[in-house]
Structure 1
Amino acid sequence: MQRFALLGAAGYIAPRHMRAIKETGNQLVSACDINDSVGVIDSLSPHSEFFTEFERFYDHAWSLKRQPGKALDYVSVCSPNHLHHAHINAGLRLGCDVICEKPLVPSLHLLDDLAHTEQQTGRRLWNILQLRHHPSIIDLKARVQGGAAHKHEVDLTYVTSRGKWYMESWKGDPRKSFGVATNIGVHFYDMLHFIFGKLQRNVVHFTDLSKAAGYLEYEHARVRWFLSIDANDLPDAVRGSKPTWRSITVDGQQIEFSEGFTDLHTVSYQKVLAGQGYGIEDARHCVETVEVIRSATPVTARDGEGHRLLNGLLG
């Protein structure tokens, strides 16, 4: 039984990590968050310690290291994006392996810094790249690899509507979330790389606080992408009944991957615990992709490269 700590325990994604820890037969020893709305712990790990101050958590973790058989083995990081770098470094320096939500960090410079800490401490950093475990994505990758070599025509649309609270939270602050393309899009960029190979071209057509659109060209695909947190961008068929719409078409064929997300964190934990998880170098591509997107100046889409929803954004 491995001993875990969880940073960012009050966040949206934290319960999936708590369940993954429990479902893999391990123990959540302690959790930390500046917010105390963490009642879900009662049903998943009622005996874990809880801290609202990181300094007290860190002191507790160091005290456990001095007790035989009590030291933490893993630190799971679900905190706001801008804290990942500091919290990952802290976990590695505590002598733990670290499992972190994406994006690991906003830049390749910080990613290289984490690689240096890995070397210093001898511990590993693992990234949750759960779409690589989705059955529909695995099947699509096999079809692409097994088919004739050519560039597939791909349209990616992801609308996950958020209320007014979003802009008042850290997620609406680009200094903390690094913007909508990074916050809600990074795992899709990883998915595209996983399926279609090396990225060759990265162009942004539109970006603001609530949505972004652009074009990505991979070894085996030409991808028009659109991401949004605006409910007005939901298709008429689901507006008012579903808050989220995920769509990916490949050569005009719809790939169904709207379902099957809930247990992917447990699968990710199983792989990490078996030493088969995704590390720093696996995450490098998507970190670089979102870093370029954030710094890019939007340009007019070339023929055939603009997403079908782009015209509505540009008026």
Structure 2
Amino acid sequence: MKDFALIGAAGHIARKHLRAIQETGNRLVAAVDPFDVMGRLDSFFPEAEFFLDCNSFERFVADRKKNNHPINYFSICSPNYLHAAHIQSALRHQAFAICEKPLVLYPEEIETIEKAEQESGCKVFNILQLRLHPAIAALREKVKSGPAGQVHDIDLTYITPRGKWYFKSWKGDVDKSGGIAANIGIHFFDMLTWIFGEVQRSTVHLRQPDKAAGLLELKTARVRWFLSIDFNDLPAEARQKGLHTYRSITMEGHEIEFSDGFSDLHTESYRQILSGQGFGLGEAAPCIRLAHQIRNTQVVGARGDYHPFFKQR
């Protein structure tokens, strides 16, 4: 049994980490979050210490280490812009870090963390759960075993509407979230580069606070992508079915079905990490660089080959 600490315990994604810690037979001993209504801990680890500020939390971690009861892992579910600092905190305490996506917002932060890894002797792992989805893994094997030099035509569409709260929170601040590409698209960009290879060229057709679109030219694919949190972008068929999220990936016009199989991917991620596997800095770096590039490249508008959802606007 390993001892865990959780940073950002009140966030939506933290519940999946709590469940993963529990289902892998480990123990949460401390959690921290400025939000003080933390009844969710009662369903998982009611005995865990809880802190409202990081200074008190850090003192607790340091005292445990001093008394030969060190924290083994930090689970990091804090806002995106705080990930780098919280990863550094874990390594400073000689703890392994398990961090939500995006691992960091800036490529140079990866180099700094890599040095801290070497100094601490501990590793950093990123939750890249789509790599563990059976349908996605099968697609990767299909692409790898296909004809050499074949370039696939891919359309990626992900629409997940958010309310007005979104733009009043850190998620609506591009400096804190990394914008749409980093906040809701990062795991798809990781999946695409994992399957189809490194980025050859990236074109951005649209970049707004609530949506973005572009074209990725990868080693073995051309990907038209569209990301949105605007309810008005949901296609009619999704609305008719009462769906509040629309997720679609097509290859050569054929839908790749991967709607199911998401429920236990965080737990499986933890199992792999705890068994000495997991995805580290090297695996996370390509999608971090790509999201950073998308955030900073010039927008060309409706030119060239762009996603059909952008055309409909």
Q: What's the TM-score bracket when you normalise by the shorter of the two chains? A: over 0.9
* Partner amino acid, structure 2, of 1:291: H
Give, in angstroms, the shift of residue 147 of structure 1. Answer: 1.3
Q: Give the alignment of 1:1-315 within 5 angstroms.
A: 1-68=1-68, 70-149=69-148, 150-239=150-239, 241-303=242-304, 305-313=305-313
Identity of paired residues, percent?
50
Whole-Å Cα distance in 1 between the matches of residues 48 and 203 of structure 2?
Answer: 46
8 Å CA contact 1:211, 1:230 repeated in 2: yes
Whole-Å Cα distance in 2 between the matches of residues 21 and 13 of structure 1?
Answer: 13
Give, in angstroms, the shift of residue 51 of structure 1. Answer: 0.5
Aligned structure 1 segments of 4 or more residues deviating by more than 2 angstroms: 300-303
Alignment deviations for residues 119-143 of structure 1 (CA, whole Å, 9 cap, x no partner):
1111100000000001110011011
Alignment deviations for residues 159-180 of structure 1 (CA, whole Å, 9 cap, x no partner):
0011111111111111110111
The range that moved more, 231-240 or 275-284, is: 231-240
8 Å CA contact 1:9, 1:33 repeated in 2: yes
8 Å CA contact 1:80, 1:170 repeated in 2: yes
TM-score under structure 2 length normalisation = 0.97
What is the SS of the residue equivalent to 1:216? Answer: strand
Query: Where do 5+ consecutive residues of structure 2 fail to align?
Result: none
Give, in angstroms, the shift of residue 284 of structure 1. Answer: 0.7
* Partner amino acid, structure 2, of 1:125: V
Whole-Å Cα distance in 2 between the matches of residues 146 and 253 of structure 1?
Answer: 18
Query: Where do 5+ consecutive residues of structure 1 fail to align?
Result: none
Whole-Å Cα distance in 1 between the matches of residues 125 and 91 of structure 2?
Answer: 11
Give, in angstroms, the shift of residue 258 of structure 1. Answer: 2.0
CA RMSD of aligned residues (A): 1.0
Alignment deviations for residues 213-262 of structure 1 (CA, whole Å, 9 cap, x no partner):
00001111000000000111111112261211110001111011222212
Q: How many residues were matched structurally? A: 311
Give, in angstroms, the shift of residue 301 of structure 1. Answer: 4.8
Whole-Å Cα distance in 2 between the matches of residues 31 and 137 of structure 1?
Answer: 33
What is the SS of the residue equivalent to 2:236? Answer: coil
Whole-Å Cα distance in 2 between the matches of residues 200 and 220 of structure 1?
Answer: 10
What is the SS of the residue equivalent to 1:153? Answer: strand
Whole-Å Cα distance in 2 between the matches of residues 190 and 169 of structure 1?
Answer: 25
8 Å CA contact 1:231, 1:239 repeated in 2: no
* Partner amino acid, structure 2, of 1:272: I
8 Å CA contact 2:302, 2:311 repeated in 1: no
What is the SS of the residue equivalent to 2:260? Answer: coil
Whole-Å Cα distance in 2 between the matches of residues 91 and 14 of structure 1?
Answer: 17
Whole-Å Cα distance in 2 between the matches of residues 54 and 254 of structure 1?
Answer: 45
The range that moved more, 261-270 or 232-241, is: 232-241
8 Å CA contact 1:246, 1:257 repeated in 2: no
Give, in angstroms, the shift of residue 302 of structure 1. Answer: 4.6
8 Å CA contact 2:204, 2:297 repeated in 1: yes
